[in-house]
Amino acid sequence: MSLIRGLIDRLLLVCAIVAGGLVPGFIAQYRQRLGGRLDQARLDLAPWQKIADQYFQGDIGKLIQYHLASRDPTFHAEGGAIQALLASVQHLQLEAAALHGSLFQQAVYLSLHADPELARATLSDWVPTFGLSAEAIVFALVFAVGLWLIFQASWSLTAAGGRHISARLRRPPSVAPKKPSISR
């Protein structure tokens, strides 16, 4: 059993180091895709911003309100579209800003706040890359040690539980002493 545990242990450690080394590359590709979306959203908003600059002293909020106040349904709908586009740009800017921290901060942010659609798109086009920066290597090692410790703990708990059950099964059942019967 210790041979199997040793093989699983080493294999898990090597796989965890490789997986941990691939995470920084995925994060970089996610950031690039997010940046592309932000650039496109800014390009889509630019003509509306020019109109706001020309007629509303650059206040795009006033342009949106002007559209939303219109009785013309098409013009009113444009106000909603501009508002959604502005909200999208602002959201993407916040996400991009959150991904400018350290690699560990980026990994935590993505694990808690990643856009599922963007993550799926990134994963579908993902080209595995192993980061060789000092930060990426440290990340890979910390990731691997974390997984390895979880494995060690779960193996130990499983083994301890198995020994406890095995010991119970080997013990003969305890027989309660019979009470002496009093005969009359």
pTM of the model: 0.74
**Is residue 103 assigned to a domain?**
yes
More confident residue, 156 or 21: 21
Instruction: Check if the beta carbon of residue 135 is closer than 8 Å to that of residue 102.
Output: yes
pLDDT band at 119 (very low <50, low <70, confident <90, very high): very high
pLDDT band at 3 (very low <50, low <70, confident <90, very high): confident
Report the pLDDT averaged over residues 46-53: 97
Report the pLDDT averaged over residues 141-165: 82
**Is residue 96 assigned to a domain?**
yes
Residue 152: pLDDT over 80: yes
**Is residue 183 assigned to a domain?**
no
**Is residue 7 assigned to a domain?**
yes
More confident residue, 176 or 137: 137
Positive or negative torsion for Cα 100, 102, 107, 108 = negative
Residues 6+ apart with CB under 8 A from 13: 144, 148
Q: What is the pLDDT of residue 4?
A: 84
Instruction: Check if the beta carbon of residue 109 is closer than 8 Å to that of residue 98.
Output: yes
Q: How many Cβ atoms from other residues are within 10 Å of residue 21's Cβ?
A: 21
**Is residue 179 assigned to a domain?**
no
**Is residue 143 assigned to a domain?**
yes
**Is residue 8 assigned to a domain?**
yes
**Is residue 181 assigned to a domain?**
no
Q: How many domains does the chain have?
A: 1
Residue 67: pLDDT over 70: yes
The mean predicted confidence, pLDDT, of the chain is 89
Residue 123 belongs to what domain range?
2-168
Q: What are phi and psi of 36, to 5 degrees?
A: -65, -40
